[in-house]
Amino acid sequence: MSHDNQRTSLDLSQIRSDIDSVDIQIHELLNKRARLAETVAHAKFAQEENPLFYRPEREAQVLRRVMERNEGPLSDTTVARLFREIMSACLALEAPQSIAFLGPEGTFTQSAALKHFGQDAVVRPVTTIDEIFRDVEAGSAHYGVVPVENSSEGVVNHTLDCFKSSNLNVIGEVELRIHHQFMVSEHTRKDSIKQIYAHQQALAQCRQWLDVHYPGAERVALSSNAEAARRIRTEWHSAAIASDIAANTYNLEVLHHNIEDNPENITRFLVIGREKIPASGNDKTSLLISAHNRAGALLNILAPFAKNNISLTSIETRPALNEKWTYVFFVDLEGHIEQEHIRAAIDEIRPFAKELRVLGSYPVAVL
């Protein structure tokens, strides 16, 4: 070892001992934070019998402040993720939170639940969306996580339908990036692919990629990506777009990874709970509005938002459960129900609606 190397070794061991002492300080502060969280729990119990421990608006504020003041070298999202885990650990100490998600284990909804609540929450797979609503209503789960947008398996509508017959509130949203894989079976003639199967949403999300790589192949829309993967197992001239999980289940070979045109291919999930969430400073509000399908109904409903300068981030229309010609609109908008202009717009809409329900105001997804 040269003299130079020796010096670097000494430097290294000095830096390592610096890291160790930083670790000791971090460790002490983590436990100090946990003790303060316990004190909060005691104060809350002194105040009310059934206090709320999970405060999504406060978590969102903490994470936003973390990202704002961050000067690196750790990236904003990395420190926010670390703080999410720290808050999750402290919250578990105050009162372990039980979360029902649309199972099975290993699905995107589980990832969403863990992303939102951190690794210290007790997340539990539940078979149907209805059951998640029932579990949260009955209190056997504190919160539920359900998919709402951009899923290729048709669960979107089911989630929205559940809100029609439930009094639960939306208390948060989670966003996840989703990837699509291009797969073939052992029988597939890779140089002669004539059909490509997938759910129509997946086909749409990979349109440009398919135009470039398989311009001549016919695109066949099936009921789900899993069905597409299942079908090509015994075929010679077809390929499927589906998830890694489907490729493994049906023993298929993934020829091309992550073929979605938009690398920011996001699926959105809602967090549901029994309580209402105070404003965090950057919030969304979800509304359920039912109206007779008269010409102009949608216009009457939308005009007050425009007038009050409220941005709508999503509108979904669904038929009402039992009444012909009555429709239900699900509207997401920027702002919190506590804000004056949001209230004003909603008051203007009420006369035109058969029913108008605020599903919830909640912090915009931070991570």
Question: Among residue numbers 157 through 196, which ones bind its own copies (CB under 8 A)?
Answer: none
Residue 14 CA from chain centroid, whole number: 43
Site residues for its own copies, 256-315, by CB under 8 A, read none
The tokens describing 203, both together, are: 């086909």
Q: Nearer to its own copies by C-beta: 76 or 334?
A: 76
Q: Which helix (H) or strand (E) element contains residue 52?
A: none
Site residues for its own copies, 4-63, by CB under 8 A, read 4-5, 8-9, 11-12, 15-16, 18-20, 22-27, 29-40, 43-44, 46-47, 58, 62
CA distance 65 to 79: 11
Nearest approach, Cβ of 139 to its own copies (angstroms)?
A: 19
**Residues 213-232: x/- map of binding to its own copies (CB under 8 A)?**
-------------x------
The tokens describing 244, both together, are: 């890694």
Q: Could you write out the three-class secondary structure of 264-297? A: CCEEEEEEEECCCCCCCCCEEEEEEEEEECCCCH
Q: Which of 85, 323, 347, 355 binds its own copies (CB under 8 A)?
A: 85
Nearest approach, Cβ of 324 to its own copies (angstroms)?
A: 31
Residue 9: how many other CB atoms lie within 10 Å: 11
CA distance 228 to 223: 8
Site residues for its own copies, 115-134, by CB under 8 A, read 119-120, 125, 127
Stretch that binds its own copies, among 99-107, 129-137, 289-297, 310-318 (CB under 8 A): 99-107
CA distance 226 to 26: 46
Nearest approach, Cβ of 104 to its own copies (angstroms)?
A: 3
Nearest approach, Cβ of 60 to its own copies (angstroms)?
A: 14
Rg, Å, the chain Cα set: 25
Site residues for its own copies, 238-267, by CB under 8 A, read 243-245, 247-249, 253-254
Nearest approach, Cβ of 110 to its own copies (angstroms)?
A: 8
Question: Total residues contacting its own copies (rule CB under 8 A)?
Answer: 72
89 interacts with its own copies by CB under 8 A: yes
Q: Nearer to its own copies by C-beta: 219 or 233?
A: 233
Nearest approach, Cβ of 159 to its own copies (angstroms)?
A: 17
Q: Nearer to its own copies by C-beta: 34 or 344?
A: 34
Residue reference for tokens 């004539």:
194
Residue 163: how many other CB atoms lie within 10 Å: 24
Length of the chain: 367
Cα dihedral sign, 171-177-182-185? negative
